[in-house]
Structures are given as C-alpha cells and as structure tokens.
Amino acid sequence: MSKLKRNERIAAMVKILCDQPNRIFTLNYFTEKFNSAKSTISEDIVVVKQTMEKMKLGKMETIAGAAGGVKYIPLTTKEQNRELLEEICIKLRQSERILPGGFLYMTDIIYSPNIMQRVGEVFASQFDYKGADYIVTVETKGIPIALMVAKATNLPLVIVRRDDKVTEGSTVSINYVSGSTGKIQRMSLSRRAIKPGSRVIIIDDFMKGGGTAKGMVDLMREFEARVEGIGVLISTKSPEKRLVNEYIPLLVLEEVQEQQELINIYPNPELV
C-alpha cells in the first residue's frame, strides 16, 4: 500500500476508531495499515485526540505499555443529551401514538438504528463499565437499545428469554412478579450465557413498577453475577416506590390522557 497523506491517515483513523468504540488499537496496527512510522502515527493520534475533545465528539484514551494503544470512548455532553432526548420526546408526544389503555406506540423509535445508536452512547456515558463483563436485557423491545449500548461499551450482549428455547441448552429459570400488573411471570437464561462472578449492566425499554428489572437482578444472583447499574429508556413518574431503587431513565413519562390526547413526557432532568 502506498503511503497516505496526513489528512488521509487521520480520516481513516477516525473511521476505524469510531466504528469500534472501546476497542484498543495498537500503534503497530496503524503503522502496518498506513505503512508509516510509529512517531508519525503518534502525531496523528494527538491531532485526532485534540479535535475530538475540542468538538466534544467523545474521548480518545491512550494506553501505555507493550499491549497498549489507543481507543475511542463515546462520551456525550448534557447539551447533546438534551438535543437527542427532546427529539425523541417530540416524536412520542404525537397524539396518534396513544393506544387503547393509555399505552404508547414507540416501536418505530426503538427500531430506528440512528436514534438507538445515539441512545446507546448516552447510556454508555452514564455508567462506569470498565469492570463490567456483559450488557443484559430481556426480549424483545429492550434488544435494540441494549445492542447499541453493547456496541458503545464493547461488551457482549446477553438476552434473557421469556420462554425456554431448545437452542439455548440447559437454562436457569425464575418466576417474578410484574410490578405494574402484579401477575407472576417467568424468565430464563442459558447456563452458558454468563460466567459466575461476572459484572453486568441491565438495559430495558420501559419501567413502571420495576418488576422486570427486579426479575433480572434476581436472575443474575442465580449466576452469582453483580449488577453494576440499571438503565431504562422510559420510566413512568409514578409509582414513587418501585421494586428496584437505583436506575437511570433517559425519559420520564408523567401521564397519558387518552381522552384529551395528551402525552406528558420529558428528558430526565439529571441528564440534561
């Protein structure tokens, strides 16, 4: 490969790093890829790092040592959070989203790759995931959100099932009580999915009473896994007491007035 000019190397480097957040790329990787000296690559990294910080596009971290290198860490500001979360709120406030029973239609938003990628970066900015081993969610609507969090944190995604699957092999199943309906439900996870003693971050799409999140916490206990944090896209404002105490919602749903076609939803004030 012929040698690239500095602007060409930097453009390629930014693309590589941002496509694979939290993955460490060694200097040797870039020297071989760009056919350049280590000193040249080091200077390029300094330029990329300074630009990222100046434009508030995330963080570049260099790791010293033989196994060291550089990695890109998604990091959002409160201003960026506000812009994204307000954008989602505007969409969710549309009266035609109200379903019978006061529920909200939000499938199109959850399955939007562009929106969920940015949501994943917001979540990644809220948790200390350096010691975490897995991102955990429950099927099905939590999957797109958790997948983007997994990408941003460079952690594997584990999906808890509502029903046993033959393809999962031997499973651990528990019953849990829905915090919103009070009904007993069931969730299961393959014994091979999580190693004992692991640390996990739980991500879900919606929380009302906290029953599903509590169920996942209890299930993780069966694997001797420690829950480092819980994040949900939307939580209702009430009830005040939930089955889990510590969690981070991105949006707060205060009320849905079906007759008046009114939806009161807003960003978590702590994030904006």
Report the b/e string of 41-68 with b at 16+ CB within 10 A: beebbeebbeebeeeebbebeeeeeeee
- Pairing type for strands 134-138 and 199-207 reads parallel
Question: For residue 69, what are the β-bridge partners?
Answer: 63
Rounded Cα–Cα distance for residues 37 and 44 (Å): 11
pLDDT at 31: 93
DSSP string, the chain: -PPPPHHHHHHHHHHHHHHSTT--B-HHHHHHHHT--HHHHHHHHHHHHHHHHHHT--EEEEE-STT-EEEEE----HHHHHHHHHHHHHHHT-GGGEETTTEE--HHHHT-HHHHHHHHHHHHHHS--TT--EEEEETTTHHHHHHHHHHHHT--EEEEBSS--GGG-SEEEEEEE-TTT--EEEEEEETTSS-TT-EEEEEEEEESSSHHHHHHHHHHHHTTPEEEEEEEEEEES--SS-S----EEEEEEEEEETTTTEEEEEE-GGG-
What CATH class is the domain 78-271? Answer: alpha beta
Rounded Cα–Cα distance for residues 21 and 212 (Å): 29
Give the other-Cβ count within 10 Å of 261's Cβ.
12
User: Tokens 């076609």 identify what position?
Assistant: 261
Residue 103 tokens read as 């529920």
Task: Provide the residue ranges of all domains of the chain, joining segments of one domain with +.
Answer: 6-73, 78-271
Rounded Cα–Cα distance for residues 251 and 87 (Å): 11
Rounded Cα–Cα distance for residues 117 and 113 (Å): 6
Local confidence pLDDT in tens for the 272 residues of the chain: 678 999 999 999 999 999 999 999 999 999 999 999 999 999 999 999 999 999 999 999 999 887 779 999 999 999 999 999 999 999 999 999 999 988 899 999 999 999 999 999 999 999 999 999 999 999 989 999 999 999 999 999 999 998 877 788 899 999 998 766 778 999 999 999 999 999 999 999 999 999 999 999 999 999 999 999 999 999 999 888 899 989 999 999 999 998 899 999 999 999 99
- Pairing type for strands 226-236 and 199-207 reads parallel
pLDDT at 205: 97
Q: Which of 227, 214, 142 is nearest to 185 (CA)?
A: 214
pLDDT at 80: 98
pLDDT at 143: 97
Q: Would you identify the CATH topology of the domain 6-73?
A: Arc Repressor Mutant, subunit A (1.10.10)
Write phi, then psi, for 251 (nearest 5 degrees). -130, 150
Entry pTM: 0.95
Give the chain's radius of gyration (CA, Å): 21
Q: Which of 186, 193, 124, 115 is nearest to 159 (CA)?
A: 193
